[in-house]
Structure 1
């Protein structure tokens, strides 16, 4: 086995929107498909399980105390994932069976925060089926704040994967210099950026982060059209009345450590896209720039990170 080479898969697929059980089944099917291609790391988009809160932009999501938004939100929470209750165990078991690592975007119904608020979390599962980290999005973006709670720094962690060191962020966190620096400083050289699913997010930032970090960057987003909304979605007619026909066109892509495309953004196609990454390219590009190594000045600027898991109650 050559530890310098890593086969990766980008799962640019649509969830069964706001249906946890059906989306889990689709994840497991994607894992089986990727395993047949000898995939060693499979990545899904932001909030993929059970889906992104698209309704907020089309149902007057900021309107106070409305029945429509309350009922859709309650449906969303019911379909969020309680990790402590073992709701990802089936995915973990398959990861172990297939010897495949995963980054999976989930809506987390966090038991350590009472179990009623939800967090946009990026879960890393290693090839032994163990959860390595659960990164709760630090700052939900714009209308996301109407349904998602802000996270903490506990999940700002990296993980060994063959010769690589992988880390990841959710959506617009990838635009935040300090969280990126927190991962770079731990040796990250394969950066995972997950998105709801549009090339206007991925086409510029993916190449920039790769060039800044002299790392591989994998960006993954979902596809989403009217056909992907289950018929039993609460207030579906109201959501679709204003929603565009295409809510997510994917935009999944890979940039190399020189910032050039390995896989240009894939638009409007549902499927799993594959590539093989060569770790040696990281070492080549770090020769002339390493933002936390030889091209840093920690005597002048340093970053402090609080990785405590935040909770309202601490029992002695």
Structure 2
């Protein structure tokens, strides 16, 4: 692993359910990362092109309609959108990890997955990681990943792995990446999150609304 590396978190929202418009924003963000000299730029969970923030807060009918739009705007992990991100990464000279709603590549399947795609600064799509177990009502939207996509990737500055959201509470996943020699860890969550009223909330103090996530990330680092 290189002694010093520059990494960044893309503070950018997708254009919901619009892969083309989201791609335009992505390319601009990657170009900016190149100008900043970043070795790695990370986008949020399911940045392409929606996290189902509405789950549990809209009617069943609305939820179904939104789920259909979410599925229709899903992309392939090695499809034209990610190839375009790869070209942008090559032009910028920046490695990229990006969250997507992934269309299953099996013929006839309509399943989508909560997936991280790993792209090198020379434009190669190195691989993917599918969230192994969607969290509570996320299972309405995403299929389960499996151990085949639990791996680390050789970037030019470090061996990089990643987990998605509540996977950071799964001790065996963390151990597996450690045994694979992970040196830099990508921890992605939805673009906005508060524990206020959430079933995972363990604190009464309103100043600690995000402390559960903060603790999970710090625990992983330790």
Instruction: Tell me if TM exceeds 0.5.
Output: yes
Select the residue among 122, 135, 160 that pairs with 1:128: 122
- When normalised by structure 1's length, the TM-score is 0.61
Structure 1: runs of 5+ lacking an equivalent? 212-316
- DSSP 3-state at the match of 2:145: coil
**C-alpha displacement at 1:201, in angstroms?**
4.7
Q: Which residue of 2 aligns with 1:158?
A: 152
1:106-255 aligned at under 5 Å gives the runs 106-112=100-106, 114-196=108-190, 197-198=192-193, 199-211=210-222
Q: Is the 8 A contact 2:95 2:119 kept in 1?
A: yes
**C-alpha displacement at 1:174, in angstroms?**
1.2
Query: Going by fraction, where is helix more abundant, 1 or 2?
Result: 2
Q: Is the 8 A contact 1:101 1:126 kept in 2?
A: yes
What's the CA shift string for 1:87-126, capped at 9, x where partnerless? 3111011111122111100000112263411100011011
Q: Which residue of 2 aligns with 1:17?
A: 16
Structure 2: runs of 5+ lacking an equivalent? 194-209
Query: Going by fraction, where is strand more abundant, 1 or 2?
Result: 1
**Higher RCO structure (Cα 8 Å, ≥6 apart):** 1
In structure 2, do the counterparts of structure 1 residues 6 and 113 end up closer, same or farther at CA, with 3 Å as the change threshold? farther
- When normalised by structure 2's length, the TM-score is 0.86
What's the CA shift string for 1:134-180, capped at 9, x where partnerless? 11110001111111111112221112234521100111111111111
Q: Is the 8 A contact 2:77 2:117 kept in 1?
A: no
